[in-house]
Amino acid sequence: MFVATSYLLFAQNVSTLIGPDIGINDALVFDSNGNLYGSDHEGLNVYKYSPEGDLSVFATFSHHPNGMVMDGEDNLYVSTPPGNKIFKIAPEGTITQYGPDIPNPNGIIFEYDSDTMIVTSYPNNTVGKLAPDGVFTPWLSNNGLNGPLGLSYDQNKVLYVANFNDGKIFRVENDQLVYFATIPGGYVGIDYFSTGYIQWSGDYLYATGFGVNKIFRVNMQGLVEDFAGSGIAGLQDGAASTARFYYPNGICASKTGDSLFISDYETHAVRIISDINTDVHSTKQPGFQFKCFPNPVFYKAYIRLEVPREMETYYQLVDMKGLFVAQGKWHLASGENQREISTSFLPSGTYTLTVSSKNEHVSQPIIVSN
């Protein structure tokens, strides 16, 4: 195993979408309308955060919710390990048990090309399959599994399974586990933990480093890189190298694939890592910076930009569904500049403003409250 020590700092920025202390600290998933769902593994609720910025309790269970997955009709599936059950929640909120009782179900995902659900069991070190007719079949066991939780498919339809305990990630080939990479871990009290959840996006697998307060990126060859987080526990936004997470756990990608959403287990906050597809290694801060004020924005956003030289920049304002709602071009003089963006036509909600020059991209979340 080789872990790179450089950060991808040329563009990546960490911000807080919502929180702290909003309940969400585990799995994350989007529906087709841009609503974000998050489970609370210390509580009993699954929360829904709308594109308009409204947070509500979507479902309540008798046991702690854990893994989640969404189907093509926006039905949400939630595992409750202590209750040995998986539940299906219809878009309008109707809750029914899905399949039979399953011993300690944790991570869940649908097969790439079928309605069969793949289910990990953290304490039993097993992976099974739940068919649409309700038949559960054991599939993978032992052979390196050590608290399996995270599940994700790559663009080649290959399934990956991640261990929460020791950070080992395996790909599944011909119904066998093949070692792929190891995510660094650390002690949380007397227990050693490593990887929360995993998410393929583009050409990389991203993993939350629960035990070391970092986010990691793994390429197709299994090379592990620090991607975000200083390793110091906390809730601090900013550049990828200086941002702080506190037991990062859940992870999912935006519809456009340019941002990652992370749940912090300890702070109960949802974080955003922006511009994940800009692949330039650097150890310096971006060449320009900007700040939006006020934030939340009421009808008009004022943007203060500091640039080291005269330059052409472009801005894009994107909603939580990944749709462009405003874009344009700014010619900036060296030094401090100020620009305005009208938001009077936008519904209230959370948006991402990205300002780009020829080689750099800087993003910041904006809350519109019209």
Judgement on whether residues 80 and 161 belong to the same structural domain of the protein: yes
* Least confident residue range of 185-189, 262-266, 284-288, 315-319: 284-288
pLDDT at 318: 83
Nearest to 76 by CA among 20, 134, 117, 43: 117
Judgement on whether residues 19 and 90 belong to the same structural domain of the protein: yes
- Amino acid in the structure at residue 70: M
Tell whether the model's pLDDT for residue 1 goes beyond 50. Answer: no
Q: Is residue 282 part of a domain?
A: no
Domain boundary among 217, 248, 274: 274
- Could you tell me the two tokens for 353? 């403003």
Q: Is 16 helix (H, G, I), strand (E, B) or coil?
A: strand
CATH of the domain at 345: 2.60.40.2550
Judgement on whether residues 270 and 134 belong to the same structural domain of the protein: yes
Judgement on whether residues 19 and 86 belong to the same structural domain of the protein: yes
CB atoms within 10 A of CB 315: 18
Domain boundary among 242, 274, 306: 274
Domains contained in the chain, number? 2
Model confidence pLDDT, tens digit, residues 88-130: 999 999 999 999 999 999 999 999 999 999 999 999 999 999 9
Tell whether the model's pLDDT for residue 238 goes beyond 80. Answer: yes
- Could you tell me the two tokens for 235? 């809730």
Segment 194-216 shows an average pLDDT of: 95
Judgement on whether residues 100 and 134 belong to the same structural domain of the protein: yes
Q: Is residue 28 part of a domain?
A: yes
DSSP code at position 113: T
Using CA atoms of 275, 278, 284, 289 in order, give the dihedral in degrees to the nearest 10: -40
- Could you tell me the two tokens for 343? 């938001």
Q: Is residue 279 part of a domain?
A: no
Model confidence pLDDT, tens digit, residues 294-343: 988 999 999 999 988 999 998 988 887 767 889 899 999 999 999 999 99
Judgement on whether residues 221 and 316 belong to the same structural domain of the protein: no
Q: Is residue 283 part of a domain?
A: no
Tell whether the model's pLDDT for residue 5 goes beyond 90. Answer: no
pLDDT at 282: 38
Model confidence pLDDT, tens digit, residues 61-85: 999 999 999 999 999 999 999 999 9
CATH of the domain at 213: 2.130.10.10
Measure the CA–CA gap between 312 and 328, rounded to whole angstroms. 11
Judgement on whether residues 77 and 196 belong to the same structural domain of the protein: yes
Q: Is residue 223 part of a domain?
A: yes
Q: Is residue 80 part of a domain?
A: yes
Q: Is residue 38 part of a domain?
A: yes
Judgement on whether residues 334 and 248 belong to the same structural domain of the protein: no
Segment 185-196 shows an average pLDDT of: 87
Measure the CA–CA gap between 243 and 223, rounded to whole angstroms. 22
Judgement on whether residues 172 and 136 belong to the same structural domain of the protein: yes
Tell whether the model's pLDDT for residue 287 goes beyond 70. Answer: no
pLDDT at 279: 52
How many Å from the N-terminal Cα to the C-terminal Cα in the chain?
Answer: 50
Per cent of the chain over pLDDT 70 is 94
CB atoms within 10 A of CB 306: 14
Model confidence pLDDT, tens digit, residues 6-61: 333 335 889 999 999 999 999 999 999 999 999 999 999 999 999 889 999 999 99
Identify the burial level of 191 via C-beta atoms within 10 angstroms of its C-beta, where 0-12 means exposed, 13-18 middle and 19 or more buried.
exposed
Containing structural domain, residue 149:
3-274
Residues 6+ apart with CB under 8 A from 156: none
Measure the CA–CA gap between 36 and 173, rounded to whole angstroms. 32
Q: Is residue 192 part of a domain?
A: yes
Alpha-carbon distances, residue 357 vs 15, 50, 120, 276, 312 (angstroms): 21, 31, 44, 16, 6
Judgement on whether residues 345 and 214 belong to the same structural domain of the protein: no
- Amino acid in the structure at residue 290: F
Q: In the predicted model, what is the mean pLDDT of the chain?
A: 90
Domain boundary among 226, 249, 274: 274
Judgement on whether residues 198 and 74 belong to the same structural domain of the protein: yes
What pairs with residue 328 in β-bridges? 315
Tell whether the model's pLDDT for residue 285 goes beyond 50. Answer: no
pLDDT at 176: 95
pLDDT at 10: 39
Segment 227-245 shows an average pLDDT of: 92
Segment 159-182 shows an average pLDDT of: 95
Judgement on whether residues 44 and 177 belong to the same structural domain of the protein: yes
Residues 6+ apart with CB under 8 A from 286: 9, 10, 11, 239, 360, 362
